[in-house]
Each structure stands twice: as C-alpha cells, then as structure tokens.
Chains A and B, each alone.
Chain A
C-alpha cells in the first residue's frame, strides 16, 4: 500500500507539535493535496500531537503516503503509552475536556480528516489512526 517509507515524528514537547505540523505539510504537499487540504491535515495533526503532550507527555506520530485504487492519500498514526482514555465516546464529544482546553481536539481532528479511528486502554495508552484522500484538483 505505502509508496514511500514512513516518517516518524517523536512527540515530547510543545515544540514537537510545530515540527509535526511542518513535516506532515511537506509530505502531504508531495502526495498532491490542495492548499486547503494541507492546512486541514496540519491542523488535525496539531490537535492529536497536543493531545499526546497534554495527557501522555510523550509519544510518536508516523506519517505515510498511501495509495488505493487510483487515489492517493496520507496515513497518520499517533501513538502514546499514556494513561489512556476511560470513556472514548465522551472524549469524542465536542466541548469535553479534562485538560482545560476547548475540548475540540479529537472530535475536531475527526471532522478535518476523511477517516478517523481511536483505540485506547486505561493504563496502556492511546492510538489515533487518521486518513485523508487527495481530491482531484478542480
């Protein structure tokens, strides 16, 4: 599926959030996303990266270009070994936050991407998997 090697971005500080945004932007531009999509993807990754910094302190995001029946896209997997999320359904609701934020991080990221999945186990960590497909340029 993957047409090029994946990029790993370690997330351990606020500065890494900015780095993740810049890396995903560069990769998404290569894949052929429109300027609008580049910003959507960078914003989504910013939210999941911040989630790692706020709740798990450290983690890793992997970025890979993907291809499926003639369309190209990007796969983003954000992993941490933090405290995990006890109630995923609640965490995916707009406005729910335990970190003093707007509570738009995860549900917002889901709105920005085409595909979004989250798994979490208390005491083990959280994994967010997101995909976006490039629209044909019009």
Chain B
C-alpha cells in the first residue's frame, strides 16, 4: 500500500516506459523473486554495510586500471561523488522494499549512465565484479554453511538481474526515442514543397509512402498552397518505389483536397509498371490529371498558368529591332 502511494505521486520514468506496478510484479514472478528472497537480502544488510567501502574501493581500482574506465572520471571530485552513490546503492540492495520507488530509482540511475554514454560492457562488468566480490565475502562469513551462503547469493543474483534488466531498458528506451525523433525529422525534410515560379509548386516525393507520411505530406502541401497562393502543383512520384491502392488513394485525396482549395494538381512520374498495377487494382485515376514525366508536367503547368517559356536568344532577338 505504501508503495502504491509513492507511485501515485511520482509521474515518472516508470510511467514513461510503461513499467507499471503489474509489470514489476510480472518481472519478479519470472525471476521467481519472492518474500523469501527479500528476507534473505535484508539479512545481509549488516554485512553489506560492513563491506561496502572495501567493495566499492576495489571496484573503482579495477575500473580505473582500464583506459576506457579512466576516461569517464577525469575529475576526482566527480569520482568521489559517484563512489558515494555506488556505496549507497550497494547497501540499498539489502534494505528491502523493492517496489515501484526502487524501480524508479534504478531507471534514473540507468538513464544517467546512458546520458554519459557509459558502455553497457562497463555497466555489466560492474555488476559482475560486485557479484564475485560478494560471493567471496559470503563464503568467508559462513565458512561452515556454504549452502546458506549460496542461498543468499542466489537471492542477490535475482535482484541484480532485475536491476540489470531495468538499466538496459533505459538504454533501449532512450535510443528508441532518439530513433523516433530522427524518423520524424527525416519525414519532414524528405518532402520539400518547392515554389518553381509564381503560382507553381513542385512536390517531388521520394521513398516509401505510408499513411502517416501521406497525411503529413498532404497537410504540408495544402498549407503551402495557401501561403504561396499556388494555383498549380506538379506532384512527381518518380521516386516512390511502390504505389498500391492505399497509397494511390492517399494521392487521390491530396489531389481532391487541393482542388477544393482552388489549385490543380498534375501527377507525374507514374511508371508503366505502377500504372498497370493501379489499373489492375481498379484504382480510378480518371479525375486526376497525369503527365508522363516531370518536365512535361511543368510544361503543362506553365500552360495552365499562362506562362510561355522562351529561350534567351529568342528574347534577345525580339528585343533588338531587326
């Protein structure tokens, strides 16, 4: 109950990563982590406090003996701070109450490490070092009862695996988020709406078009039609590898929406293969103006707009009285 109250106040990483109270229980169940384990862990608390300093000191000596490890602690003050945190965590492992607040703390620490780009090999290596060190202390503490020592060790192993899992999850979560942001950014820059001349927009579409991209593309085009007062749009789909009936319908909708605003869309770059497949799919393109290639599309657009393209020499010739 107390844990639940804590969780309600914390609107946090556990929520963002969707690690709910039920999910935590599922993870513990899979590890077969139960009340017995909690008791065993708490029984080691005194031992943990006693040895925390030496374990942590030994670990950082080990870490700093590697070039990669040293790179993370150029500043002695930072090193001391991190050591204090690690000691607290080491003792925390044996203090019970491994509920949502505990999980939240683990996720925060995980995120912190992700942020400084600590490689997972160092992260996992640290846990391995702890476990090995604790195992030897346990055998020392119970010289006559190695079975008990091993039981204690197994309980700790379960908790450590729970923690490792959470740490790795924060890494994955963070990377996925970065990936998502990049995808959005790519989507945005991948569909430039260009103004070729007054009243004429060119929309070259390159790459795979899914429903979301089709939606963004349409929104962007319609807004640009308004802001640039465009009357004709040439939409070139030469660079779209696959046009199935769904994508074709998106294009048809784009064309129709543009028409309602008062702009004509000319579709270009429909390859013979795509044209054939659309016909066999029964897609009705009769209401859409299509022209073979981009150049033809632009010529038609100019015609609609009343432009006439004239070569420079001809212009010069006309300007000079013969």
Contacts and interface: CB of A to CB of B under 8 A. Distances in A.
The answer to whether A and B touch in the complex, with CB atoms under 8 Å apart, is yes
Interface of A: 34, 36, 69-70, 135-136, 138
Interface string B200-216: 00000000000010001
Interface string B168-203: 000000000000000010011000000000000000
Nearest to B220: A138
Contacts of A138: 184, 187-188, 216
Contacts, number: 12
Contacts of B212: 135
Contacts of A69: 18
Contacts of A136: 184
A70 B188 CA distance: 23
Secondary structure dominating the interface of A: loop
B302 to A, nearest CB: 31
The 6 closest A-B pairs by CB, nearest first: A138-B184, A36-B219, A138-B216, A69-B18, A138-B187, A138-B188
B75 interface: no
Secondary structure dominating the interface of B: helix
Given A36-B219, A69-B18, A138-B188, 9 more contacts: A34-B219, A70-B15, A70-B16, A70-B18, A135-B212, A136-B184, A138-B184, A138-B187, A138-B216
A134 to B, nearest CB: 13
A70 B177 CA distance: 14
12 contacts: A34-B219, A36-B219, A69-B18, A70-B15, A70-B16, A70-B18, A135-B212, A136-B184, A138-B184, A138-B187, A138-B188, A138-B216
Contacts of B18: 69-70
B29 to A, nearest CB: 21
A138 B188 CA distance: 8
A36 B218 CA distance: 11
Interface string B1-27: 000000000000001101000000000
